[in-house]
């Protein structure tokens, strides 16, 4: 298969072609029938329904000598109702029961998928090629691939150019192993950190999520189709429970929770979208015609494929009770706008039953099948169904990709506090690295991660030890993330007493293991056994406190009076009050991926000046939730401030930046309303990068306005003493508001323009009237 190499315009795949080729194609299309329609006209009902099914594929093969035997479950389905897609054939994790040893290596992956594709092309009546789909939230979830920081980490970079490179690498590695669709990025706006999937998201803000999401999509779609997850409002579940209902109306949904998806469709050109498990105001997303047809396809002009998440169609019957039986559930999803059902649910069979019962028409089925066939046509699968088997070794898990993973880990690290202990100086000769996340590779990788070769992962301890800047580096675990055992704490205290400085690595974990049980959706079932895992799909929390005896360990270390740098490895914003009060320095690295330890060492010894900014607010307590920067101004609680401990957009540097000379120039008679400029100067002792953030508050609006909204941002690097003018433009579209009476529209009036390095600390403000 040829790489897509596609531009995107309003979600439509547009082939890169010279003008002469375009004209030739147009002339041919005038005299020949559309190839998709021609193929559709030849298909039986069974063949059509098969195209809409995408079952889990990691059990569709077994090893046979140096090759593979295709499972009877796969071949029999291809012989009776040929499948249109397969999902997770290459997936390696405890759920698939594939380990580093038993999982497919990249070169084996492409050979297997070519073998399965050959069966589809050569042994079915019409020879329609399969669409292979794989998980790609922060790297391809398969053995031997590159593991990047998870979503919150990537978002902390505030660097769309860097994340476009990440998307390109993820797409390249998926394509080189024979697959065509990547599931990601996750663009759910996350405003309840109790929710178990916060780590996968780009945080709490629609502008940041949209810009970064579109960048990842652009990169991925140079090679494969990107799939936006999960439409919609999945990140604000009641009680923080995964898949719980989202209580909001159309005004807030449109103004706050759909913008990132729209931007990734219109600007990124995403070729696929996945529906969410939850309901919105009581309507399941997988059966929401307004969302999937009126908004996605009609308003956004989306031309791609809509997937229902794993078992989401069945959930219409079994969980939401919106359908009386599975056939009615399949009919609801199809008529709402779902094309492909993800998982083992017998979608095709139930659609046949629904047709026989008059719940759907064959035209309904044809519409969805046409979307699937069109995507395969745009990918070039009918002409090039197979992948060059030499690509995998040259393009998967290579050193250049590991270097990129390290750069993302560097830029994603957020410095939250520093009393001067960082960067380390020459007096820090003996360093103690302590904590449950200091030398545990899986605890730093996040959910949706394949089993790893330890030689490819750099833990915090390994990175600091191998840096070679300290004369001696020692490690003690101290305690577990969740287990209440205390027998290691005394040893850790003795080690800390020996050291000149302590790096204390605490937090959480999304590391799965072979003892974890799973629901049919892949979500973990929490059992009585105490593992480190406190986050990841299925691990919702009722509090945000550090579990186990981590705070006891921290107190004992802080009581020694030694210089302490506390590092949080976490999948959600956890309670940081103790560290904020007592630690000399505090960083969050979220889940920093395979190069996390090397990145931390560079930051400690000033080989990299931290530049990360928070993509989500860090609350003081769970009682504040939800707490996010754009909430209307409210009063304090009796017990504490209503402001977060650390706000959205916040992050320190070893440098210091000064803002001045804000100017807002109104531009008449154009869609661009104004030009905004300001001067940023590095007044610190060293070079650094600052994320210049532009916020706007609508002073009066038909929908109660937010306290402020991020509208643009720019990451700029400045040498010590260097100044630079930063320029933004604000358009009518960016300042428009949605209400159900008027739709999207611009309301003239007064707007406050704010610029600074954090959402809660605008350095320069000016009010302008349009």
Catalytic residues: 309
Q: Round to whole Å and give the CA distance between 378 and 375.
A: 5
Distances (CA, A) of 135 to 48, 88, 171, 436: 25, 7, 11, 28
DSSP string, 696-727: EEESS-SS---S-EEEEEEEEEE-TT-EEEEE
DSSP string, 389-427: TTHHHHHSS-HHHHHHHHHHHHHH-EEEEESS--S--TT
685 burial level (CB within 10 Å; 0-12, 13-18, 19+): exposed
Whole-Å CA distances, 119 to 126, 231, 379, 397:
12, 34, 19, 28
Return the C-alpha torsion angle 435, 437, 438, 441, nearest 10.
150
Distance spanning both ends of the chain, measured CA to CA: 51
Residues 6+ away with beta carbon under 8 Å from 674: 664, 665, 666, 667, 729, 730, 753, 768, 770
Beta strands in 500-583 (DSSP E): 501-507, 517-518, 524-525, 564-569
Question: Contact at 8 Å (CB) between 80 and 72?
Answer: no
Which residues neighbour 287 within 8 Å (Cβ) at sequence distance 6 or greater? 316, 320, 322, 323, 332, 333, 336
Q: Residue 400 — φ and ψ, nearest 5°? A: -60, -35
Q: Cβ contacts of residue 18 below 8 Å, gap of 6+?
A: none
Query: Can you tell me the distance from the alpha carbon of 118 to that of 228, in angstroms, rounded to the nearest whole number?
Result: 29
CA–CA distance, 114 with 79 (Å, rounded to integer): 18
């Amino acid at each position: 298969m040829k790489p897509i190499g596609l531009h995107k315009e309003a979600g439509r795949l547009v082939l890169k072609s010279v003008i002469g080729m375009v004209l030739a194609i147009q002339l041919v299309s005038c005299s020949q029938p559309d190839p998709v329609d021609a193929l559709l006209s030849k298909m039986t009902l069974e063949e059509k329904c098969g195209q809409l099914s995408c079952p889990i594929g990691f059990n569709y093969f077994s090893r046979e000598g140096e090759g593979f035997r295709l499972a009877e479950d796969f071949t029999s389905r291809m012989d009776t109702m040929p499948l249109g897609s397969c999902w997770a054939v290459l997936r390696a994790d405890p759920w698939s029961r594939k380990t580093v040893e038993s999982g497919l290596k990249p070169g084996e992956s492409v050979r297997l998928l070519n073998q399965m594709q050959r069966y589809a092309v050569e042994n079915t009546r019409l020879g329609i090629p399969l669409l292979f789909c794989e998980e790609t939230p922060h790297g391809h979830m398969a053995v031997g691939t590159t593991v990047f920081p998870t979503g919150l980490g990537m978002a902390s970079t505030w660097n769309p150019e860097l994340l476009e490179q990440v998307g390109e690498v993820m797409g390249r590695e998926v394509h080189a192993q024979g697959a065509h669709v990547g599931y990601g990025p996750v663009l759910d706006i996350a405003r309840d950190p109790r929710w178990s999937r916060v780590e996968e998201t780009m945080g709490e803000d629609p502008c940041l999520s949209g810009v970064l999401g579109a960048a990842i999509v652009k990169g991925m779609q140079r090679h494969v189709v990107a799939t936006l997850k999960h439409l919609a409002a999945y990140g604000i579940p009641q009680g923080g429970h995964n898949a719980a209902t989202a209580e909001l109306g159309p005004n807030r949904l449109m103004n706050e929770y759909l913008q990132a998806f729209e931007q990734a469709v219109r600007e990124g050109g995403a070729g696929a979208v996945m529906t969410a498990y939850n309901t919105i105001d009581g309507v399941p997303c997988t059966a929401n015609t307004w969302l999937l047809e009126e908004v996605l396809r009609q308003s956004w002009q989306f031309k791609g494929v809509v997937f229902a998440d794993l078992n989401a169609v069945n959930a219409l019957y079994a969980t939401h009770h919106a359908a009386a039986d599975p056939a009615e559930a399949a009919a609801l999803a199809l008529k709402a706008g779902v094309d492909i059902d993800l998982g083992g649910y017998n979608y095709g069979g139930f659609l046949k039953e629904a047709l026989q019962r008059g719940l759907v028409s064959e035209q309904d089925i044809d519409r969805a099948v046409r979307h699937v066939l069109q995507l395969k046509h745009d990918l070039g699968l009918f002409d090039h169904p197979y992948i060059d088997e030499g690509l995998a070794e040259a393009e998967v898990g290579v050193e250049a990709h590991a270097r990129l993973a390290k750069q993302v880990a560097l830029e994603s690290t957020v410095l939250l506090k520093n009393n001067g202990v960082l960067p380390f100086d020459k007096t820090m000769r003996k360093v103690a690295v302590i904590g449950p996340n200091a030398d545990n590779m899986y605890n730093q990788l996040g959910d949706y991660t394949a089993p790893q070769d330890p030689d490819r992962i750099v833990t915090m301890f390994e990175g600091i030890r191998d840096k070679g800047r300290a004369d001696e580096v020692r490690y003690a675990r101290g305690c577990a993330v969740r287990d209440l055992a205390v027998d290691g704490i005394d040893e850790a205290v003795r080690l800390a007493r020996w050291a000149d400085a302590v790096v204390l690595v605490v937090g959480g974990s999304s590391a799965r293991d072979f003892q974890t049980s799973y629901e049919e959706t892949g979500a973990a079932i929490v059992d009585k056994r105490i593992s480190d895992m406190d986050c990841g799909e299925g691990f919702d929390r009722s509090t945000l406190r550090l579990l186990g005896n981590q705070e006891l360990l921290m107190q004992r270390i802080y009581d020694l009076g030694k210089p302490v740098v506390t590092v949080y490895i976490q999948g959600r914003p956890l309670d940081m009050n103790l560290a904020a009060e007592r630690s000399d320095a505090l960083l969050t690295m979220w889940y920093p991926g395979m190069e996390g330890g090397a990145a931390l060492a560079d930051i400690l010894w000033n080989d990299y000046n931290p530049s990360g900014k928070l993509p989500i607010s860090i609350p003081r307590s769970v009682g504040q939730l939800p707490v996010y920067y754009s909430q209307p101004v409210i009063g304090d609680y009796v017990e504490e401030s209503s402001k977060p401990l650390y706000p959205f957009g916040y992050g320190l540097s070893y440098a210091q930046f000064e803002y001045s000379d804000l100017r807002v120039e109104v531009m008449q008679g154009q869609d661009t309303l104004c030009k905004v400029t300001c001067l940023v100067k590095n007044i610190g002792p060293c070079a650094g990068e600052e994320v210049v953030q532009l916020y706007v508050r609508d002073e009066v609006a038909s929908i109660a306005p937010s306290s402020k909204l991020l509208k643009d941002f720019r990451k700029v690097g400045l040498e010590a003493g260097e100044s630079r003018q930063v320029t933004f433009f604000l358009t009518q579209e960016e300042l428009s508001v949605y209400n159900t009476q008027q739709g999207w529209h611009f309301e003239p009036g007064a707007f406050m323009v704010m610029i600074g390095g954090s959402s809660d600390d605008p350095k320069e403000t000016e009010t302008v009237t349009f």
